[in-house]
A and B are shown apart, each in its own frame.
Chain A
Amino acid sequence: MSANSNRPLSPHLQVYRLPLLANLSILHRITGAALSIGALMIAWWLVAAALGEGPYNTAMNFARSPLGIFMMFGWSVALYYHLFNGIRHLIWDTGRGFKLKQAYMSGYVVLLLTALATAATWYEVYN
């Protein structure tokens, strides 16, 4: 065994320069977690609607508040990113798209589609 059991752990996140692909992967997980919280909020909204006008108005007032709109905007981004990146994962599951060039390209496509879909959605909301 080791002469010195006090061996340090070499630096990892502290030094590793994460490539775009890794950051997209982390983003997939973060948006997934955000969507779970969003699902709870939708459940709250539905329950409020079932309870009657008072609770429903409370929920809608929150949704129309700047914080509510900010959160909904965040969830729309999360929803589209997670959806498109999920499709990217499905394509990977068929064994395709693993060349570095392809993986970067699909990542850029996901980002672009996310931006377009989010923009289209909020354009609809305000027009």
Chain B
Amino acid sequence: MVQFTLPQNSKILPGRKIDAAGNASRKKTFRIYRWDPDTNENPRLDEYTIDLSKCGPMVLDAIIYIKDKIDSTLTFRRSCREGICGSCSMNIDGTNTLACTKAIHDCGDNTKITPLPHMAVVKDLVPDLKHVYKQYESIEPWMQNDDPVPENGRERLQTQADSEALNGADGHGPAGCILCFCCSTACPSYWWNSDKFLGPAVLLQAWRWIRDTRDKAKAKRLEKLKDPFSMYRCHTIMNCTKTCPKGLNPAQGIAEIKKLMVSGE
């Protein structure tokens, strides 16, 4: 359902202002979305001003610094700190990306950090991903092939071209997805229809399995996407491709599925 405004309990209030930079020469203010499930208060935007010479170069370094030195209750997901785990996806300066690969010096003056858009918030910058994971499971993201394994007992082989279709010649193929869900939560269509529309991340993975020549469940996979919502709520808005921190192209993947739907191969 299209709802442009936030529900009452989600309206963001002004928060605390904490200046921990003193008279440092290189300082910067981050405005960070805070919501504590243990209170009945609305979310708020807290302002933290920090000394940049004391923290690393990435936005993730800054919020880790804030958690370590200023407010240990600040809650966010992070793991690999090098753009491969997909944990620290969030909205930074109005665009979804990974905090660990976003350089502080590429941000504006007054960087605003909020959770991935249009999601239920568990705490602070942590969105509830249960639903997207369920949707991911629904496309059965695993190899389905009942043919006997090759006689030499080794793996099923692909041609170079078929492998490249998955991995991309430049490494930016659909198999490069780290499931950070930056794209899905950047998609207005997903905001309004996430109950039935699978969203770009899951659809790109659907395409990844449909395109895999070693998989034999193509017809079944296509059949599941035929209804008016699962895939056809994609209106080529392109926010997915624009925002993907890995440089993948979900919009292209969805277009390829749509083509297959028509050609019926």
Could you tell me which A residues sit within 8 Å of B by CB distance? 2-4, 6-19, 21-22, 25, 89, 92-95, 98-100, 103
Contacts and interface: CB of A to CB of B under 8 A. Distances in A.
Nearest to A103: B238
Interface string B1-18: 000101101101000000
A2 B38 CA distance: 12
Contacts of B251: 98
Interface of B: 4, 6-7, 9-10, 12, 33, 35, 37-38, 40, 42-43, 91, 93-95, 112, 114-122, 127-128, 186, 188, 191, 235-239, 241-242, 249, 251-252, 255-256, 258-259
A61 B194 CA distance: 48
Instruction: Give the secondary structure class of A's interface.
Output: loop
Most B-side CB within 10 Å, residue of A3, A9, A18, A98: A9
A10 B258 contact: no
Given A9-B10, A22-B188, A94 B259 contact: yes
Given A2-B128, A4-B37, A89-B236, A10 B118 contact: yes
Contacts of B115: 10
B140 to A, nearest CB: 24
Contact of A9 (B94, B121, B236): B121
A8 B35 contact: yes
Contacts, number: 109
Contacts of B242: 19, 21-22, 100
B238 A93 contact: no
Given A4-B37, A22-B239, A17 B114 contact: no
Nearest to B39: A4
Nearest to B112: A15
Contacts of B4: 13
29 contacts: A2-B128, A4-B37, A7-B37, A7-B128, A8-B10, A8-B43, A8-B121, A9-B6, A9-B7, A9-B119, A9-B120, A10-B117, A10-B118, A13-B191, A14-B6, A14-B12, A15-B94, A16-B95, A17-B95, A22-B188, A22-B237, A22-B238, A25-B238, A92-B236, A95-B256, A98-B251, A99-B249, A100-B242, A103-B238
B121 A7 contact: yes
B9 A6 contact: yes
Nearest to B259: A95
A104 B237 CA distance: 12
CB-based closest 6 A-B pairs: A17-B94, A8-B10, A98-B252, A12-B117, A12-B118, A4-B37
B119 A10 contact: yes
B196 to A, nearest CB: 18
A5 to B, nearest CB: 9
Contacts of B38: 4
B165 to A, nearest CB: 13
Contact of A92 (B118, B191, B255): B255
A99 B249 CA distance: 8
A8 B7 contact: yes
Contact of B9 (A8, A11, A94): A8
Contacts of B43: 8
A22 B236 CA distance: 9
